Homo-oligomer: A and B are copies of this chain.
């Protein structure tokens, strides 16, 4: 069950992008699980990848290929992560790139592979091989929704965002799709995100925008604190819009594009949390007036990862004692708890290391009864502010993750 009123917008074409999805039978029966995305020649491509030391084979190959050639194809499968699969996994990732490259007559390095699903199982390469030619046949500018669905694993809805902006009078389109519902925390997780624009952007500038946007979005959400072996984000720009080259983030054109890309990334990242495994609450955690980003994030994640806070959210129980316990153990040195204030939405609940005068349980209850609310902490130390998004810990989370492989 997703939190909030989820809209699944229609995504119009992005000039230079064609997509397709097929039911290759990699693991799931009766659904599509293999995706091919074609980028027109001359596209710029940027990426951000998991920091987990156990990188899945497709992550290793994608990073290598992205650095060494112009990317023309993305091949994505769901159902199997091809992670911790040793040399066989590397061979499988290369071989699927090779098949795409031969059919498209491009260098193997022009193909980036992506996988999501169970860790440690050999890929069903027979299914992939049979699926790839069919994926080529189905390429179209219109398949955004079916592609967004085909990359899902435990997701309950397809995550799709679109924006149209104007840069110097030229209309520019940005489309984004993503998947992920668990094993999600900063530095990314079992999440894949693909964002495409027809803007004309230099590769290094695009990478800067991608890294900046990732840090403000996918690196600021957490469902359960786990980081996966396969997280990948791709930002591609086809350059089909009739506009001058954007070659700097600092230029006014670069700023405009970056702002909208950040916006798309943030909306996708928040959709991941809204679809967090078993989530019934969507909670924004704002930490104001910390000494630095590190301190703010320590406090934010200490709250967001506390099973006691998360079960209290699930119970709609404004148990602020668990909140202050999480703040107090967050590891921020120099924190003077007598200066810390905590709000639930606009309701002051903690000050002077105790409950705020005037606070009444029924007021806190009103906030926690909502499906969406904000917990705000003022550390009273400095000028830094950070925001993250998280969800609660429910019975359904345990059910999903205790049953996933069986």
A322 lies within 8 A of B182 (CB): no
A398 lies within 8 A of B401 (CB): no
User: Within the assembled complex, what's the spacing in Å between the Cα atoms of A226 and B305?
Assistant: 9
Closest CB-CB distance, A321 to chain B, in whole Å? Answer: 2
What residues of chain B lie closer than 8 Å to A305, measured between beta carbons?
225, 305
Whether A324 is near chain B, meaning CB under 8 Å from some CB there, is yes
A317 lies within 8 A of B405 (CB): yes
Whether A83 is near chain B, meaning CB under 8 Å from some CB there, is yes
B320 lies within 8 A of A120 (CB): yes
Whether A228 is near chain B, meaning CB under 8 Å from some CB there, is yes
Whether A103 is near chain B, meaning CB under 8 Å from some CB there, is no
B329 lies within 8 A of A187 (CB): yes
B120 lies within 8 A of A315 (CB): no
Which of chain A's residues 31-63 have a Cβ closer than 8 Å to chain B?
51-55
What residues of chain B lie closer than 8 Å to A89, measured between beta carbons?
354
What residues of chain B lie closer than 8 Å to A52, measured between beta carbons?
325, 328-329
Whether A402 is near chain B, meaning CB under 8 Å from some CB there, is yes
Whether A393 is near chain B, meaning CB under 8 Å from some CB there, is yes
What residues of chain B lie closer than 8 Å to A214, measured between beta carbons?
none
Given known A-B contacts A393-B398, A398-B314, A307 and B83 have beta carbons under 8 A apart: no
A54 lies within 8 A of B402 (CB): no
Whether A397 is near chain B, meaning CB under 8 Å from some CB there, is yes
B-contact 0/1 string along A394-406, CB 8 Å cutoff: 1101110111111
Closest CB-CB distance, A400 to chain B, in whole Å? Answer: 8
Whether A84 is near chain B, meaning CB under 8 Å from some CB there, is yes
| Closest residue of B by beta carbon distance from A354 | B86
A84 lies within 8 A of B398 (CB): no
Whether A227 is near chain B, meaning CB under 8 Å from some CB there, is yes
Whether A384 is near chain B, meaning CB under 8 Å from some CB there, is no
B120 lies within 8 A of A311 (CB): no
User: Within the assembled complex, what's the spacing in Å between the Cα atoms of A228 and B327?
Assistant: 11
| Closest residue of B by beta carbon distance from A392 | B402
What residues of chain B lie closer than 8 Å to A118, measured between beta carbons?
321
| Closest residue of B by beta carbon distance from A223 | B307
User: Within the assembled complex, what's the spacing in Å between the Cα atoms of A245 and B46?
Assistant: 70
Whether A326 is near chain B, meaning CB under 8 Å from some CB there, is yes
User: Within the assembled complex, what's the spacing in Å between the Cα atoms of A327 and B227?
Assistant: 10
Given known A-B contacts A119-B324, A328-B53, A350 and B311 have beta carbons under 8 A apart: no
Whether A352 is near chain B, meaning CB under 8 Å from some CB there, is yes
User: Within the assembled complex, what's the spacing in Å between the Cα atoms of A233 and B342?
Assistant: 30
Closest CB-CB distance, A380 to chain B, in whole Å? Answer: 13
Whether A207 is near chain B, meaning CB under 8 Å from some CB there, is no
User: Within the assembled complex, what's the spacing in Å between the Cα atoms of A308 and B222?
Assistant: 13
Q: Which of A51, A86, A306, A353 has the most CB of B within 10 A?
A: A353
A308 lies within 8 A of B182 (CB): yes
**Which single member of B83, B317, B355 contacts A406 (CB below 8 Å)?**
B317
Pairs A–B under 8 Å by Cβ, sample size 25: A51-B329, A53-B327, A53-B329, A54-B328, A83-B325, A84-B320, A84-B321, A84-B324, A86-B353, A86-B355, A89-B354, A119-B324, A119-B325, A120-B321, A224-B308, A225-B306, A226-B306, A226-B322, A226-B325, A227-B325, A229-B324, A307-B397, A307-B401, A319-B404, A398-B398
Known: A52-B325, A53-B329, A229-B321. 20 other contacts (CB 8 A): A51-B329, A53-B335, A53-B337, A54-B353, A81-B321, A84-B320, A84-B353, A86-B353, A119-B321, A182-B308, A183-B325, A226-B308, A226-B322, A227-B325, A308-B401, A311-B397, A312-B402, A315-B406, A394-B398, A395-B398
The 7 closest A-B pairs by CB, nearest first: A119-B321, A86-B354, A54-B328, A315-B402, A311-B401, A227-B329, A52-B328
